[in-house]
């Protein structure tokens, strides 16, 4: 590092002293905290983003959001060149940077890291970082801090893309690095045109009735509602009524949004008895999660149609289209591509969804919690579909399969345009364009759900009845040190402390179809307990017993 670079870093970093007595960590969702202490962190992540751009010789994304957290929080995360999450190898460096005590310490860390990673400051390709933020009031000043961080690396360019959903920024980064058009208009254009293409290919006679054509969306008083309002103007159908768009004075994530609806299982603010029976959906604060729901007649309760059911719907549709594509007819076998389709879940997926997917003949795999793990696993398939129960998920298509599919679509279009096989090829291609392959995206996911329901001729009631969720309970337990729990097998088995898993097993054995696991949260200082059984009482009772065991082994009264 030359002297000019070193003194620039020293000078700018002295304007962003780190908060005292706080240890920050780059968790599953980047850094998150009360917005008032984040300026220094965001400035430092700006530096990190510029270094990542130099290392990969690609465009990098920096998003300022705290998703479903309360409005006074904020956060920052990086999008890698593929549009996915920051590579896990760099997370320890992110932690070290954020926690460096003073400018000298910060510069020493950067020098060491740059050497270790063999990053060249004077390369032909300057660093370039795309910036986005959600609607939080703290976003503007944090964006300035990020810009300062980026421009502390000589020659680096920061491009402010404005207020965006998290998936929009990830999409833009991916598109830029593929040499494609990458503005917000391009994003809307791609989503709306591929959606229209799917709608044009709907089999005749499978339109749902008029009442079923209306969709009501809770925008969490965040960026998603605002963007959806723009997107819907580019579509002829369905009729989308956006509530909680943030324009009516409601507070971001307060009594609204996908996280609230999924965790509390009640209607969001702005929904009520007049919505009973209608198709409703909810986005989270940065629009990377999506759940559907049905308002029940009593007590503001809902029937939740969660990420597992969205996954099931997508998997059924893709499997059906692949089967049509591969019906051989009179053709030669060499046009056949055995596409490998896989679905990926976490231990939080409802057991009934996993049973259902397996009964459909699908290959179901499990990873630890956190989309970076699910995404990585799904990328191993020709078509990999992943979802967390909370509504974050997407579909990934391998380059090899897409190449074949495009060629096949062209071939079928010239030989047998309008044939069932040709339509199946076009539908799958449209899905690959509609769905955001960078990261889970509530807006593109919503359009795909809508297109598939229309295609199947299904109301939300029919979709919801694909299988019945097993009753479940989630609890949180505060412990002395949550890292004392170590798990294996996609977090389903405790390997440390000794004896805890055996004790949990003994509890589970008391309940027919009982299932329970515990794991340290990656975003909160707690242990999460999950329990499932055939009745709600049994699930509650199993959950409580297991929570007591966790407290006995690791709680404040334990000897650890």
Of the candidates 353, 547, 313, which has an alpha carbon nearest to the alpha carbon of residue 452?
313
Of the candidates 445, 193, 414, 423, which has an alpha carbon nearest to the alpha carbon of residue 322?
423
- Nearest approach in angstroms of CB 150 to ligand GN1 is 25
28 binds, among ligand GN1, Mg ion, none (CB under 5 to 8 A by kind): ligand GN1
Q: State which residue, 66 or 98, has the beta carbon closest to ligand GN1.
A: 66
- Nearest approach in angstroms of CB 371 to ligand GN1 is 5
- Nearest approach in angstroms of CB 284 to ligand GN1 is 9
- Nearest approach in angstroms of CB 372 to ligand GN1 is 9
- Nearest approach in angstroms of CB 165 to Mg ion is 9
528 annotated ligand binder = yes
393 is a site residue for ligand GN1 (CB under 6 A): no
390 is a site residue for ligand GN1 (CB under 6 A): yes
388 is a site residue for ligand GN1 (CB under 6 A): yes
**Please, are residues 286 and 224 in contact by the beta-carbon 8 Å criterion?**
yes
Q: State which residue, 161 or 223, has the beta carbon closest to Mg ion.
A: 223
370 is a site residue for ligand GN1 (CB under 6 A): yes
Q: 53, 67, 245, 444: which is the annotated catalytic residue? A: 67
The SS3 assignment for 319 reads helix
Contacts of 239 (CB under 8 A, 6+ apart): 213, 214, 215
Contacts of 532 (CB under 8 A, 6+ apart): 350, 351, 470, 471, 472, 473, 513, 514, 515, 516, 539, 542
- Nearest approach in angstroms of CB 286 to Mg ion is 4
141 binds, among ligand GN1, Mg ion, none (CB under 5 to 8 A by kind): none
**Please, are residues 428 and 455 in contact by the beta-carbon 8 Å criterion?**
no
Q: Which residue has the tokens 């620039």?
A: 8
174 annotated ligand binder = no
Which range in 202-210, 264-272, 306-314, 369-377 contacts ligand GN1 by CB under 6 A?
369-377
369 binds, among Mg ion, ligand GN1, none (CB under 5 to 8 A by kind): ligand GN1
29 is a site residue for ligand GN1 (CB under 6 A): yes
What are the phi and psi torsion angles at 305 (to 5°)? -110, 95
DSSP per residue, 105-171: HHHHHHHHHHHHTT--TT-SS--EEEEEE-S-TTHHHHHHHHHHHHTTSTT-EEEEEEE--HHHHHH
What are the phi and psi torsion angles at 338 (to 5°)? -80, 90
519 annotated ligand binder = yes
Q: State which residue, 409 or 441, has the beta carbon closest to ligand GN1.
A: 441
Cα–Cα distance measured from residue 407 to residue 399, given in angstroms and rounded to the nearest whole number: 12
265 is a site residue for ligand GN1 (CB under 6 A): no
289 annotated ligand binder = no
**Please, are residues 138 and 58 in contact by the beta-carbon 8 Å criterion?**
no
Q: State which residue, 380 or 525, has the beta carbon closest to ligand GN1.
A: 525
Pairing of strands 279-283, 214-218: parallel
The SS3 assignment for 279 reads strand
Q: State which residue, 171 or 517, has the beta carbon closest to ligand GN1.
A: 517
Which range in 39-47, 94-102, 363-371, 376-384 contacts ligand GN1 by CB under 6 A?
363-371
CB neighbour burial string for 307-333, b if at least 16 within 10 angstroms, e if fewer: bbbbbbbbbbbbbebbebbeeeeeeee
Of the candidates 319, 318, 265, which has an alpha carbon nearest to the alpha carbon of residue 294?
265
67 classed as catalytic: yes
For the record, the structure tokens of 519 come out as 């794991």
Q: Which residue has the tokens 């409601």?
A: 250
Q: State which residue, 74 or 422, has the beta carbon closest to ligand GN1.
A: 74
DSSP per residue, 341-380: EEEEE-TTS-HHHHHHHHHTT-EEEE--SSHHHHHHHHTT
Q: Report how far apart the first and last C-alpha atoms of the chain are (Å, whole number).
A: 47
**Please, are residues 426 and 201 in contact by the beta-carbon 8 Å criterion?**
yes
- Nearest approach in angstroms of CB 19 to ligand GN1 is 22
Cα–Cα distance measured from residue 67 to residue 74, given in angstroms and rounded to the nearest whole number: 8
102 binds, among Mg ion, ligand GN1, none (CB under 5 to 8 A by kind): none
- The size of the interface with ligand GN1 (CB under 6 A), counted in residues, is 13
Cα–Cα distance measured from residue 434 to residue 192, given in angstroms and rounded to the nearest whole number: 8
List 280's β-bridge partners, or say none.
216, 293
390 binds, among ligand GN1, Mg ion, none (CB under 5 to 8 A by kind): ligand GN1
521 binds, among Mg ion, ligand GN1, none (CB under 5 to 8 A by kind): ligand GN1
236 annotated ligand binder = no
126 annotated ligand binder = no
524 binds, among ligand GN1, Mg ion, none (CB under 5 to 8 A by kind): ligand GN1
108 annotated ligand binder = no
- Nearest approach in angstroms of CB 57 to Mg ion is 29
286 annotated ligand binder = yes
246 annotated ligand binder = no
Q: State which residue, 18 or 257, has the beta carbon closest to ligand GN1.
A: 257
Of the candidates 365, 279, 362, 283, which has an alpha carbon nearest to the alpha carbon of residue 317?
362
286 binds, among Mg ion, ligand GN1, none (CB under 5 to 8 A by kind): Mg ion
Draw the binding track, 501-540, toward ligand GN1 (x: CB under 6 A; -: no contact). --------------------xxxx---x------------
370 binds, among Mg ion, ligand GN1, none (CB under 5 to 8 A by kind): ligand GN1
What are the phi and psi torsion angles at 536 (to 5°)? -65, -40
548 annotated ligand binder = no
**Please, are residues 455 and 514 in contact by the beta-carbon 8 Å criterion?**
no
Q: State which residue, 261 or 539, has the beta carbon closest to Mg ion.
A: 261
- Nearest approach in angstroms of CB 544 to ligand GN1 is 18
Q: State which residue, 287 or 550, has the beta carbon closest to Mg ion.
A: 287
DSSP state of 441: -
Q: List residues with catalytic annotation.
A: 67
Contacts with ligand GN1 by CB under 6 A lie at 28-29, 348, 369-371, 388, 390, 521-524, 528
The annotation places the binding site at 67, 284, 286, 288, 388-390, 519-523, 528
The annotation places the binding site for substrate at 388-390, 519-523, 528
């Amino acid at each position: 590092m030359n002297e000019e670079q070193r003194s620039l870093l020293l000078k700018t970093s002295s304007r962003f002293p780190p908060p005292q007595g706080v240890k920050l960590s780059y968790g599953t969702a980047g850094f998150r905290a009360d917005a008032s202490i984040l300026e220094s962190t965001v400035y430092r992540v700006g530096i990190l983003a510029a270094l990542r751009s130099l290392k990969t010789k690609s465009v990098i994304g920096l998003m300022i959001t705290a998703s479903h957290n309360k409005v006074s929080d904020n956060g920052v995360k990086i999008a890698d060149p593929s549009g996915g999450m920051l590579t896990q190898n760099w997370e320890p460096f992110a932690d070290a940077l954020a926690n460096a005590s003073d400018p000298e310490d910060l510069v020493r860390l950067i020098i060491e890291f740059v050497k270790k990673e063999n990053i060249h400051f004077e390369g032909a390709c300057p660093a370039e970082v795309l910036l986005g933020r959600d609607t939080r009031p703290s976003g503007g000043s944090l964006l300035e801090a990020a810009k300062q961080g980026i421009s502390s690396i000589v020659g680096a360019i920061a491009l402010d893309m404005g207020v965006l959903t998290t998936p929009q920024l990830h999409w833009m980064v991916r598109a830029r690095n593929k040499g494609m058009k990458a503005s917000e208009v391009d994003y809307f254009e791609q989503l709306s045109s591929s959606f229209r293409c799917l709608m044009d290919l709907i089999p005749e006679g499978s339109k749902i009735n008029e009442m079923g054509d209306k969709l009501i969306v809770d925008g969490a008083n965040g960026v998603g509602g605002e963007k959806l309002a723009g997107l819907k103007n580019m579509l002829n159908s369905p009729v989308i009524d956006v509530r909680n768009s943030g324009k009516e004075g409601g507070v971001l994530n307060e009594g609204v949004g996908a996280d609230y609806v999924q965790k509390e299982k009640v209607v969001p603010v702005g929904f009520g008895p007049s919505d009973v029976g209608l198709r409703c959906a909810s986005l989270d604060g940065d629009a990377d999660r999506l759940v559907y729901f049905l308002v029940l007649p009593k007590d503001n309760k809902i029937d939740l149609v969660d990420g597992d059911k969205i996954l099931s719907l997508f998997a059924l549709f893709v499997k059906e289209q692949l089967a049509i594509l591969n019906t051989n007819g009179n053709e030669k076998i060499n046009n056949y591509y055995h596409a490998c389709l896989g679905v990926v879940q976490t231990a939080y997926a409802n057991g009934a969804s996993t049973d259902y997917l397996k009964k459909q003949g699908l290959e179901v795999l499990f990873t630890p919690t956190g989309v970076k793990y699910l995404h990585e696993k799904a990328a191993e398939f020709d078509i990999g579909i992943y979802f967390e129960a909370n509504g974050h998920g997407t579909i990934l298509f391998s380059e090899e399969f897409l190449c074949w599919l495009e060629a096949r679509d062209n071939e079928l279009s010239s030989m047998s345009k309008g044939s069932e096989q040709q339509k199946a090829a076009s539908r799958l291609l449209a899905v690959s364009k509609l769905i955001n392959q960078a990261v889970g995206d509530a807006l593109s996911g919503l359009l795909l759900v809508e297109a598939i329901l229309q295609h199947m001729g299904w109301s939300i009631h029919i979709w919801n009845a694909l299988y019945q969720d097993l009753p479940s309970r989630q609890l949180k337990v505060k412990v002395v040190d949550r890292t004392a729990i170590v798990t294996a097998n996609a977090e389903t088995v405790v390997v440390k402390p000794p004896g805890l898993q055996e004790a949990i097993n003994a509890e589970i054995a008391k309940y027919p179809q009982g299932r329970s696991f515990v794991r340290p949260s990656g975003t909160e200082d707690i242990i999460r307990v999950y329990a499932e059984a055939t009745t709600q009482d049994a699930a509650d009772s199993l959950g409580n017993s297991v929570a007591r065991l966790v407290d006995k082994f690791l709680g404040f009264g334990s000897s650890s």
